Chain A
Amino acid sequence: MALPREGIYGLLAEFETPTELVIAAKAAHDAGWRRLDCYSPYPLEEAAEVIGFHRNRVPLVTLIGGLMGLCAMFSLETWISTLAYPLNIAGRPTYSWPAFIVPAYEWTILFAGLSAAFGMLALNGLPSLYHPLFNAPSFRNGATVDKFFLCLEATDPKFDASEAKAFLEGFHPNSVVEVEY
């Protein structure tokens, strides 16, 4: 096992059901814990809510991306057809905006889509192939399958190993383990 760098990362409690997790998380948050995180095998909105995570910035990123795509393509088309090499195509005006709509439209979607996906990953700080939590065998076995975890992190000013352990055990988790760095 890798030597601890800065002591422990946090305390990890494993629960059997989402309900238990949400109860514990809510209590922890009410008790003033701020540096804490919940882990579940599928989206668990309630958990996020109770630890005070309400809205994210993915939509904004997407919007910006989309607008960029729109402007980029439409101005490119206009520049090409009217300035770069204006040609008489079938007697149509050089600035044939109706025809330009389609590619611009497609690029709007392209850019928006890419920003949504990559924005989400970036905001989630992914990829992070290594994470202290993976040191906890229980986490490795259950987090993405059928178990629910609450982690009180050591960086929280309130953090004290023994207190925290006691606090968590108050919710009858399957287990509480220290997670090293």
Chain B
Amino acid sequence: MAQIFDRSSNALARMSLVLTGILVIALGVTLNELQRSPWVTRQGQRADQPVPFSHKHHVQGLGLQCQYCHTSVEKSSYAGIPPTKTCMNCHAQIWTNAALLEPVRHSWATGESIRWIKVHDLPDFVYFNHSVHVNKGIGCASCHGRVDLMPLMYEQNTLQMEWCLNCHRNPGKNLRPTSEIYNMAWKAPTEDHPVWCSVTDAKTGVPTAESVSCVTKDPTDSGPAMASLDMPATPGAKDAAPGAMVMPASLSYTKFTSQKALGDFLIDQYHIRPPRQLASCETCHR
């Protein structure tokens, strides 16, 4: 009489055991990848906006300043989405009948808001404040990426908690002089592209930027280029704020050739809170 199982079943049985193990592991890995995948985070996805607004064209092409549209970024938690009016400032004159701009004109005519899709959408229980970040030397590009190179806006970073913590636990690596906040092309200092910073007088009670001034050209050369945050830079000339001239030429500048060094210097100057406080729950959740 025949056996219940034939020869192959041994191999089968053992293989299936191994397979199960592999499957379990594979599943874990997949889930782990999935929770970080663009499918969940919308990273890099270009939402279907009513108007295909190009930051590239407006920022890089026309050299518009970030604050021209995002007016409250320095004052409020909320950077601000420009009202239709802002668009119409120019588009009342130029491209007055471009089909692409129809929704804008419609909104202007009817008084109904343009319905944009949120690209950077934090969960509602996260309380993010733009003003403190830009005031403490975190540039737009640090979180939003090279917006000036984005024909259509998309989310550069995951905006997940681990990503936030990544910087809150070590703010130094992303700090830059407040004068360079809106500089999309800003690069961390290196040997061949150093940064010079000087402290006028580290007094408290004045806005962060005022006591520190940094330049990207050797200040010993003629006409050091500086800017400070509280003076709205004019489009195109981000490094040539009038205030720069009144700076005493006799400032002792320190040269920085690495982000590490610059970061430590700025943490000290800008009184950045220690990581223990920055990574504390109540910083973002209430």
Q: Chain A interface (Cβ within 8 Å of chain B)?
A: 1-2, 85-86, 127-130, 134-135, 137, 140
Within the complex, what minimum Cβ distance (angstroms) separates B162 from chain A?
10
Residue from B1, B8, B17 within 8 A of A137 (CB atoms): B1
Q: Contacting A130 at CB < 8 Å: which of B1, B9, B276?
A: B9
Complex: A86 Cα to B7 Cα, angstroms: 56
Quick check: B2 and A2 within 8 Å, CB to CB?
yes
Min CB distance B174 to A, Å, is: 20
Cβ–Cβ < 8 Å partners of A2 in chain B = 2-3, 6-7
Contacts of A128 in B (CB 8 A): 10, 13
Query: Cβ of A130 and Cβ of B6 under 8 Å apart?
Result: yes
Q: What are the residues of chain A within 8 A of B1 when measuring CB–CB? A: 137, 140
Complex contact B9–A129 (CB within 8 A): yes
Q: Chain A residue with minimal CB distance to B3?
A: A134
In the complex, the answer to whether A129 meets B2 with C-beta atoms within 8 Å is no
- Which residues of A have CB within 8 Å of B17? 127
Report the interface size for chain B: residues with CB under 8 A from the other chain: 15
Q: Does B14 contact A (CB under 8 A)?
A: yes
Inter-subunit contact B10/A127 (CB<8 Å): yes
Q: Which residues of B contact A1 (CB under 8 A)?
A: 2
**Chain A residues closer than 8 Å to B4, beta-carbon distance:** 129, 134
Bound CA–CA A169/B4 (angstroms): 29
Please tell me if the beta carbons of B3 and A130 are within 8 angstroms of each other in the complex: yes
Shortest Cβ distance from B169 into A: residue: A85
Determine if B5 is an interface residue (Cβ-Cβ < 8 Å).
yes
SS of A interface (majority): loop
Q: Is the CB of A127 within 8 A of B2?
A: no
Q: Is the CB of B3 within 8 A of A135?
A: yes
- Which B residues from 78 to 119 make CB contacts under 8 A with A? none
Contact for B13 among A129, A134, A137, A140, CB less than 8 A: A129
A-contacting residues, B5-44, CB 8 Å: 5-10, 13-14, 17
Cβ distance A167 to chain B, nearest Cβ, rounded Å: 27
Tell me whether B7 and A130 are in contact (CB under 8 A).
Answer: yes
Please measure, in the bound complex, the distance between the C-alpha atom of A135 and the C-alpha atom of B8, giving whole angstroms. Answer: 15
User: Bound state CA distance, A80 and B272, in angstroms?
Assistant: 25
Measured in the bound complex, the distance between the Cα atoms of B6 and A130 in whole Å is: 6
Complex interface: chain A residues within 8 A of B279 (CB) = 85
Closest Cβ of chain B: how far from A100's Cβ, in Å? Answer: 22
- A114 vs chain B, min Cβ distance (A): 12
Could you say which residues of chain B place their CB within 8 Å of the CB of A130? 3, 5-10
A140 to B1, CA, bound (A): 10
- 10 smallest A-B Cβ distances: which pairs? A129-B5, A129-B9, A127-B13, A134-B3, A130-B5, A128-B10, A130-B10, A130-B9, A130-B7, A129-B13
B111 CB to closest chain A CB (Å) equals 49
User: Across the interface, which residues of A come within 8 angstroms of B3, CB to CB?
Assistant: 2, 130, 134-135
Q: Determine the chain A residues whose CB is within 8 A of the CB of B2 once the complex forms.
A: 1-2
30 contacts between A and B (CB under 8 A): A1-B2, A2-B2, A2-B3, A2-B6, A2-B7, A85-B279, A86-B276, A127-B10, A127-B13, A127-B14, A127-B17, A128-B10, A128-B13, A129-B4, A129-B5, A129-B9, A129-B10, A129-B13, A130-B3, A130-B5, A130-B6, A130-B7, A130-B8, A130-B9, A130-B10, A134-B3, A134-B4, A135-B3, A137-B1, A140-B1
